[in-house]
Every structure is written in structure tokens, then in C-alpha cells.
Amino acid sequence: MCLLWACTRSFAHRHPKIFVGFLHPFAVILVLVITVYFVVLQMFYVVPKLFEMDTLVYKLFWLLAIFICYNIFGNMLACHLTDTSVPSLPLEKQSPEPGEGHLWDFCDICERKMPPRSWHCVLCNRCILKRDHHCIFTATCIGHNNQRYFFWFTFHMALGTGVALATHTLVVLQYCSYMNLFFLNFSNVKDLPNWLFLSLLVNIYALAAPGAALFVQFLALHINGTLHDLYSETYNLGIWRNFKMVVGEKGLWTFFSPTIKSPLPHDGTKWEAKDVGIGEC
Ligand SMILES: [Zn+2]
Ligand SMILES: [Zn+2]
């Protein structure tokens, strides 16, 4: 796995245009196909085995599916459209203020100074504010301005596949118990339809990917770090302030929609370090 990752990374660095041109459309289409697959499978095959289609619970499942899809696609699009590069800053913010020059690094590729915590991305070919990583599924870099959307994108992907796994499991238990969850008879597992068994396996894999991405996001968030400094507590301001640094002043309200306006505490050029002060790093 490490070898595959190293080879992919090496190829991306050597041939960034080919990598981006091939992998971005593939990854985006994969997300679209998987999401539609789960909605169709859940709403027309799995959930109807638990609740009749004319019941209130079944209709609530439809509402939940629409809400999760809206947030997956909405946050994915917002993530892609939100520019988090250094050139997106107002001109007067693209160079250090007097006395702060020593905090800015020089990018040899862009031949310009970049704020603390910024990194150059070879795939975007730009310096990215508080760069976390390059995401092929949103076809852009994740950084200071769009990490909120990436966080909720992975969260809703994990939520959707998590709910799907729960309903899948209930249907399997139903087969095992013939509707009696307290007296399971696993010898009946052999009666499981093949499609249900296969879709359950796909579901487990589909949950693992966004689940792992979300776990890493939580790891970074709890210390206000990024993938580049996942073990550094330099910028850790406490979990709630760290969270607002990513999602903005509206906090948990941003869970409901990517369209909720939630200004970030700052523009990504000055970083308050733990026990040191603003701008130090
Ligand atoms: Zn650069
Ligand atoms: Zn990038």
C-alpha cells in the first residue's frame, strides 16, 4: 500500500497535468456513481424490507437521503469553487506587513513570499493558504478557505454510508431471526440473497474511505493541525476555537448546509500560536 502511494505520489510530481487530467474526472465521477448507487439501493431495495413504502418512517428516510446527498454534492462543489490559494488574497495582503517578513517563506516555484503554514502544490501549481492536502475527489487543494466544506463533505459521506450500513445490518438480522431480533439463528444466513451480501461488502468498503478521511480530519482539528503538522500542537487553541478556525463563526450550524454564511476568524496570513502570540511559528 505504501509502495502504491509512493509510486502515485512520484508520478503526480513528475507528470502533474496528466495526473490531474485523468484522475480528477475519474474521482469525481466515482463519488457521483457511488452516491446514486447507494440512494437507489437503499430507497428501493433495502429500506423497503424494513418499512413499507407508504409509512412515515420510509418517507423520513427519503428526507434524510435528500439532505445527505444535498450536503455531499453541495460541499463538494463549494470545496472545488472556493479559492484557497495565496493569489486569492487581496493584493495588499499578499506580502508581509512590516516586521513580519521573517515569518513568511519563499516559494522557489512561484518566486514569491507565502504566509506561515502555506505550501506550494505541484498539482494546482500555486501556493495554498494553510495547505492540508490535494483532494482528487473535489479536484482541488484543501486549505484555509475551503477546509470547512471538505470536513462536512467527508462527514456526510461517512454519515450516509454509516446509515446505509445500519439498515443493511438490520435487514441481515431480519433474515437471521425471521423478524425476531432476540432469537437470532445464524444458520439462516445462507438464505441471504447474493445481492444483499455483496452490497453489504461494498457498503463496508464505502464507509471505510470517508471514515478514514474524517478520522484524520478530527485528528488534525483537535490540535488545529494539518496533514503536514499532524503531531504539532503549535497552533492548538482548544478544540472549540480550533473547530471555529475551520468552519467559521457559525460553528455547528454549518452542518446543515454549505450555503450558510460563516466567516472565518482571519484571512489565513496570521496564525496565533499556542503560548507564543499572533504570527509566530
Ligand atoms: Zn508556490
Ligand atoms: Zn493542489
- Which comes out higher in pLDDT, residue 13 or 59? 59
Give residue 128 CA to ligand 1 midpoint distance, Å: 8
What's the pLDDT score for residue 67?
A: 97
What's the pLDDT score for residue 188?
A: 58
Give residue 143 CA to ligand 2 midpoint distance, Å: 9
Give residue 142 CA to ligand 2 midpoint distance, Å: 7
Among the bound ligands, the one closest to the CA of 24: 2
Give residue 183 CA to ligand 1 midpoint distance, Å: 62
> Average pLDDT in the 92-99 region?
85
Give residue 272 CA to ligand 1 midpoint distance, Å: 23
> Average pLDDT in the 15-32 region?
88
- Which comes out higher in pLDDT, residue 62 or 267? 62
Among the bound ligands, the one closest to the CA of 119: 1
Please write the tens of the pLDDT for every residue from 98-121. Answer: 888 888 999 999 998 999 999 999
Give residue 127 CA to ligand 1 midpoint distance, Å: 4
How does the average pLDDT of the chain come out, rounded?
87
**pLDDT above 70 coverage of the chain, percent:** 91
Please write the tens of the pLDDT for every residue from 38-88. Answer: 999 999 999 998 998 999 999 999 999 999 999 999 999 999 999 999 999
Among the bound ligands, the one closest to the CA of 110: 1
- Sign of the torsion angle spanned by Cα atoms 174, 177, 179, 183: negative
Residue 5 amino acid letter: W
Give residue 15 CA to ligand 2 midpoint distance, Å: 14
- Ligand 2 (single-atom ion) residues, CB below 5 Å: 121, 123-124, 134, 141
What's the pLDDT score for residue 101?
A: 82
Please write the tens of the pLDDT for every residue from 122-181. Answer: 999 999 999 999 999 999 999 999 999 999 999 999 999 999 999 998 888 877 765 455
* Chain-centre distance for alpha carbon 141: 12
- Ligand 1 (single-atom ion) residues, CB below 5 Å: 107, 109-110, 120, 127
